[in-house]
């Protein structure tokens, strides 16, 4: 696990993002320095979804989002305010980061 991912995971747990309403999760991640430093590549996102959701739904959600380029997690959280699929993805990423 990369240092950036460990730092992000610790920040998500410290902020208790898995326990707050979705709108607050999106705002917090969009503003979180750790999320601004974490580039989320398509293969990493797909793996996170597969580890936090049932396999068929994770693949469906990933394909539906059309996520094909690396993006900062903070940017993804910002755009998720405007797209239901991206919102589901961000929430799944937070759940992935909160576990363990």
Render pLDDT for 62-95 as a digit per residue (tens, 0 to 9).
999 999 999 999 999 999 999 999 999 999 999 9
Q: What is the mean pLDDT of the chain?
A: 95
Cβ atoms of 4 and 84 within 8 Å: the answer is no
Task: Tell which residue, 41, 40, 88, 82, has the closest CA to residue 64.
Answer: 88
Classified as helix, coil or strand, 40 is strand
Question: Which pTM value belongs to this model?
Answer: 0.92
* Tally of domains in the chain: 1
User: According to the model, what pLDDT value does residue 69 have?
Assistant: 95
- The boundaries of the domain holding residue 68 are 3-98
The answer for residues whose C-beta is within 8 angstroms of residue 80's C-beta and 6 or more apart is 26, 86, 87, 89, 90
Range list of β-strands (E), the chain: 39-40, 71-72
Once rounded to an integer, what is the mean pLDDT over residues 35-58? 96
């Amino acid at each position: 696990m990369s240092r950036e991912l460990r730092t992000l995971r610790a920040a998500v747990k410290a902020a208790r993002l898995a326990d707050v309403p979705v709108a607050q999760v999106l705002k917090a991640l969009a503003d979180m320095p750790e999320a601004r430093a974490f580039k989320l590549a398509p293969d990493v996102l797909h793996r996170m979804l597969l580890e936090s959701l049932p396999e068929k739904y994770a693949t469906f959600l990933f394909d539906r989002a059309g996520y094909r380029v690396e993006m900062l997690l903070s940017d993804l959280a910002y755009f998720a305010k405007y797209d239901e699929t991206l919102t589901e993805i961000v929430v799944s990423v937070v759940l992935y980061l909160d576990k363990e």
